[in-house]
Amino acid sequence: MSPIRLSKIESSTRIVIEFNQAFNRHDVPAMMRLMSDDCIFENTDPAPDGTVYAGKEAVTQFWHDFFRESPQAHIEIEEIFGLGFRCVMRWRYTWMDAEGKKGHVRGVDIFKLKDGLISEKLSYVKG
């Protein structure tokens, strides 16, 4: 593999890690700086197919609503790897409900990057 191609794979992984760090800070502006204007986010809820949010405005609004409803939201990366313009991240998502009860689920995100930005974030969860 050429150093240039390897650099692109590493770059995609770094961008996704940076996105996850912004997620854990609940920093929506920082998250959205890493997403393209025509981004697509496919949420896991409601089962079985989730909801698709298209465009920066819709995705931004989703994240603002999400963090308002889940102020303890945190994602721990269990594994991450890049495949060209794709990046796959296996994660453990934790939260605390309104009564103070902790919960978690595990899942996978499949990211697509375009021009150094996340253009797709497709989320899947173990049910």
Domains of the chain: 3-125 (3.10.450.50)
64-83 per-position pLDDT tens digit: 999 999 999 999 999 999 98
Q: Supply the pTM of this predicted model.
A: 0.90
115-126 per-position pLDDT tens digit: 999 999 999 999
Mean pLDDT of 2-29: 84
Q: What three-state secondary structure class fits 24?
A: helix
**pLDDT at 98 (0 to 100):** 83
**pLDDT at 83 (0 to 100):** 83
Confidence of residue 84 (pLDDT cuts 50, 70, 90): confident
